[in-house]
A and B are shown apart, each in its own frame.
Chain A
Amino acid sequence: MSSADQPDQAAPAPADLARSVPRGEPHVRLQGIALGYGDTLVQQDLTFDIRRGDVFVIMGGSGCGKSTVMRCLTGLLPPRSGRVLIGEESLWELPPDARSAVMRRNGVMYQGGALWSSMTLEENICLPLEQYTSLAPAQIRAIADYKLALVGLAGYGDYYPAEISGGMRKRVGVARAMALDPDTLYFDEPSAGLDPLSARRLDELILELRDSLGTSMVVITHELDSIFTIADDAVFLDADSKTMLATGNPRELRDHSPIARVRAFLNREPGLMDRG
């Protein structure tokens, strides 16, 4: 098979990228979060809300800690201080079993897909359903095939992750993340390593899924094209000051943010970045 994403070509282009889902209440809330590894502080004083049904972008330059924030929100890295509220529950103050239950309401698409390499694509999507539902195996397979079709990969269920291209792996990653119909879908650098067309199609997929399922999307990216296409709301993380510099709609931040560094990032002006 060529590395080109053949099924991508069959994916329908959405007629309108504007949102069709009304903005909801905040349902993921960060309150004074500080994060780090060992002796290294990565980010601190993070306080922002993610609203239900929004595409929320966590943006910033390379190495500013975007993925670290996602690891905290998805239950992989406890914060040094602060609280993550998901609905009314404080994620990191829950006992492990209850935390697992809250985490299952999230779906995560990792940068490289992180598909379980010893399983076929269908088995990858079936696993969460097998573990957490009492559906019959035939029903589970039908759901897995449907999710594969949703991401434009119908008929690829019997392939192994190593047999498909990087773009397809990311799409399967999305399908697997959606397996349990999560409340929130997290995407770690969805367009990294993709050609511009495939990246655009993945952006469109994110919007389509949000519009049709009403799922909140949290996207980690530094790709400006992607940010302006999909984001309803965003937070800008800064590597030097190790904290967030701004929140809001990226287009408004680009034009009206009082912080030069944020405007510089969103306007691709490295000179301003240095002065900010």
Chain B
Amino acid sequence: MTQPTVPPTLDLRTRAGQATLAFAGTWRLTERLPRLDAARRLIDEAPDIDRLAFDGSALDDWDTGLVTYIAGLEQVCRERNLQCDASGLPQGLTKLLTMARTVPQTGTGAHKMDASPSFLARLGSDTMDLVQSTGEIMEFFGEGVIAFKRFLHGRARFRQSDLWVIVQEAGADALPIVGLVSFLVGVILGYIGDQQLAEFGAQIYVADLVGLATVIQMGALITAIVLAGRTGAAFAARIGSMQVNEEIDALRTLGISPMEFLVLPRMLALIAMTPLLAIYADLLGILGGAFVGTVVGGITLSAYLTQTQQAIGWNHIIQGLIAATVYGAIVAASGCLRGMQCGRSAAAVGDATTSAVVTAIVFIVIAAAVLTIIFDAIGLS
């Protein structure tokens, strides 16, 4: 059984210009230690003293809680030009105080961040960050183009086995989740269409709505967003951890370009796999719509499919495939870029992963808007 502890107390006695601060009880970090202000007030209230002594004879137990308290009191004494006498404290404690005082301060404190920089300072540093980040993206893009050129000339150095593993992970392994999400989005679109079109008795056009929306944009978009969260994040985490473990340095010192060895196979795999996954997503989306059309709308399956077939043209399919290819490249590039930019800590890997997903989704949405305008301008839509 543990003994009950005596609470820490503080008492100031004054005699002939000298004050003695007596510590009693248990001065441990786990106790409710008095605030330094309490001692400061006692000292300020004492009449005409030029010297402060500490008395630790009534202490039961102490730890660094008392050491830091005394160090704070020494500071108070310095501020008030009081002489400080720590000889009445336990020997171990005075030794600890001396140790802390004698260690030279090697840090300059210059590394400390300014807690509240001014608006202009923030604007300046944010602008510099933006310039640097744009530069890094351009550099990455340039290196990517060089790596791709070397690939076309058959001189890129990467392992084909890696490429197939990534194709498998990014492609085949994503089928269930891409399929499920696409089917459900097809169902949602089908329901919305059915509710609106039923008012006009035109439920058969649910097939047009679901088919066109899915093939032109939704199939590719859903695939890309699922891949951004699933594969892009995995790319960033994998390459980021390689950065932390110096594995990328090990490649570089061998003269192997990480751009060719790590980034190129990932780009190729996603550029090849995303359109295929998008076609699969289109089919599942149409099936989702068909499910609603037949079960809720009362249309026969063959009528629904015939209507879908009539609504969708090759131009729509090509739009969807071009979009999917662009999105695939964006997801792979975002994942690899953030992985390559990763710092050398566990936290940096987490940041890289988050950033990869955010970057990919933002650029996918921008690309979707730009592509829609381009397709319209060239008369593909």
Binding between chains A and B: yes
Chain A positions within 8 Å of B, measured between CB atoms, are 71, 74-76, 99-101, 103-104, 106, 108, 110-112, 114-118, 127-128, 130-132, 176, 180, 274
For the complex, give the distance between the alpha carbons of A111 and B252 in Å. 16
- Which of B157, B162, B238, B249 is the one whose CB lies under 8 Å from A114? B249
Q: Which residue of A lies closest to B161 (CB)?
A: A123
- Which of A106, A116, A127, A131 is the one whose CB lies under 8 Å from B253? A106
- Report whether B250 and A116 are in contact in the complex, using a CB–CB cutoff of 8 Å: yes
- Chain A residues in 8 Å Cβ range of B254: 103-104, 127-128, 131-132, 180
For the complex, give the distance between the alpha carbons of A77 and B254 in Å. 14
B residues contacting the other copy or chain, number (CB 8 A): 18
Report if A104-B255 is in contact (Cβ < 8 Å); known contacts: A110-B250, A116-B250, A131-B157.
yes
- Chain A residues in 8 Å Cβ range of B241: 117
- Chain A residues in 8 Å Cβ range of B256: 127, 131
Residue B31 lies at the interface, judged by CB distance under 8 Å to chain A: no
Closest 6 CB pairs of A and B: A100-B255, A114-B246, A114-B250, A110-B246, A108-B253, A74-B253
- Report whether B245 and A112 are in contact in the complex, using a CB–CB cutoff of 8 Å: yes
Q: Which residue of B lies closest to A176 (CB)?
A: B250
The interface bits of chain B over 218-252 (1 if a CB of A lies within 8 angstroms of the residue's CB, else 0) are 00000000000000000000100110011101111
For the complex, give the distance between the alpha carbons of A162 and B162 in Å. 19
- Report whether A116 and B255 are in contact in the complex, using a CB–CB cutoff of 8 Å: no
Q: Which residue of B lies closest to A274 (CB)?
A: B104
For the complex, give the distance between the alpha carbons of A130 and B157 in Å. 10
For the complex, give the distance between the alpha carbons of A116 and B251 in Å. 9
- Report whether A117 and B252 are in contact in the complex, using a CB–CB cutoff of 8 Å: no
- Report whether B247 and A114 are in contact in the complex, using a CB–CB cutoff of 8 Å: yes
Tally of contacts, chain A with chain B, CB under 8 A: 56
Q: How near does chain A come to B169, taking the closest CB pair, in angstroms? A: 11
- Chain B residues in 8 Å Cβ range of A110: 246, 249-250
- Chain B residues in 8 Å Cβ range of A132: 254-255
Q: How near does chain A come to B6, taking the closest CB pair, in angstroms? A: 40
- Report whether A103 and B253 are in contact in the complex, using a CB–CB cutoff of 8 Å: yes
Listed by A's residue number, 13 A-B pairs whose Cβ atoms lie within 8 Å are A75-B253, A100-B255, A103-B252, A103-B255, A117-B245, A118-B162, A127-B159, A130-B159, A131-B254, A131-B256, A132-B254, A132-B255, A176-B250
Q: How near does chain A come to B3, taking the closest CB pair, in angstroms? A: 41
Q: Which residue of A lies closest to B254 (CB)?
A: A128
- Report whether A108 and B250 are in contact in the complex, using a CB–CB cutoff of 8 Å: yes
Q: Which residue of B lies closest to A101 (CB)?
A: B255
- Report whether A76 and B250 are in contact in the complex, using a CB–CB cutoff of 8 Å: no
For the complex, give the distance between the alpha carbons of A151 and B242 in Å. 24
Chain B positions within 8 Å of A, measured between CB atoms, are 104, 157, 159, 162, 238, 241-242, 245-247, 249-256
For the complex, give the distance between the alpha carbons of A71 and B249 in Å. 9
- Chain A residues in 8 Å Cβ range of B249: 71, 76, 108, 110, 114
Q: Which residue of B lies closest to A126 (CB)?
A: B159
For the complex, give the distance between the alpha carbons of A140 and B113 in Å. 52
- Report whether B253 and A115 are in contact in the complex, using a CB–CB cutoff of 8 Å: no
- Chain B residues in 8 Å Cβ range of A127: 159, 254, 256
Q: Which residue of A lies closest to B246 (CB)?
A: A114
Q: How near does chain B come to A98, taking the closest CB pair, in angstroms? A: 10
- Chain A residues in 8 Å Cβ range of B157: 131
Q: Which residue of A lies closest to B248 (CB)?
A: A114
Report if A117-B242 is in contact (Cβ < 8 Å); known contacts: A108-B250, A110-B250.
yes
- Chain A residues in 8 Å Cβ range of B242: 116-117
Q: Which residue of B lies closest to A100 (CB)?
A: B255
- Report whether B246 and A111 are in contact in the complex, using a CB–CB cutoff of 8 Å: yes
For the complex, give the distance between the alpha carbons of A104 and B256 in Å. 9
For the complex, give the distance between the alpha carbons of A176 and B247 in Å. 12
Q: How near does chain B come to A259, taking the closest CB pair, in angstroms? A: 20
For the complex, give the distance between the alpha carbons of A130 and B158 in Å. 10
Q: Which of B159, B250, B251 has the most CB of A within 10 A?
A: B250
For the complex, give the distance between the alpha carbons of A117 and B246 in Å. 11
Q: Which of B238, B242, B252 has the most CB of A within 10 A?
A: B252
For the complex, give the distance between the alpha carbons of A118 and B255 in Å. 19
Q: How near does chain B come to A182, taking the closest CB pair, in angstroms? A: 10
Q: How near does chain B come to A244, taking the closest CB pair, in angstroms? A: 21
For the complex, give the distance between the alpha carbons of A167 and B238 in Å. 24
- Report whether A115 and B247 are in contact in the complex, using a CB–CB cutoff of 8 Å: yes
Q: How near does chain B come to A152, taking the closest CB pair, in angstroms? A: 21
For the complex, give the distance between the alpha carbons of A274 and B250 in Å. 37
- Report whether A117 and B255 are in contact in the complex, using a CB–CB cutoff of 8 Å: no
Given A103-B252, A103-B253, A131-B254, output 4 extra A-B contacts at Cβ < 8 Å.
A76-B253, A112-B246, A117-B242, A127-B256
- Chain B residues in 8 Å Cβ range of A176: 250
- Chain B residues in 8 Å Cβ range of A128: 254
Q: How near does chain B come to A124, taking the closest CB pair, in angstroms? A: 9
- Chain B residues in 8 Å Cβ range of A115: 247, 250
For the complex, give the distance between the alpha carbons of A114 and B241 in Å. 11
- Chain B residues in 8 Å Cβ range of A116: 242, 247, 250-251
For the complex, give the distance between the alpha carbons of A180 and B250 in Å. 14
- Report whether B252 and A75 are in contact in the complex, using a CB–CB cutoff of 8 Å: yes
- Report whether A114 and B255 are in contact in the complex, using a CB–CB cutoff of 8 Å: no
Q: Which residue of A lies closest to B250 (CB)?
A: A114
- Chain B residues in 8 Å Cβ range of A104: 254-255
- Chain B residues in 8 Å Cβ range of A71: 249
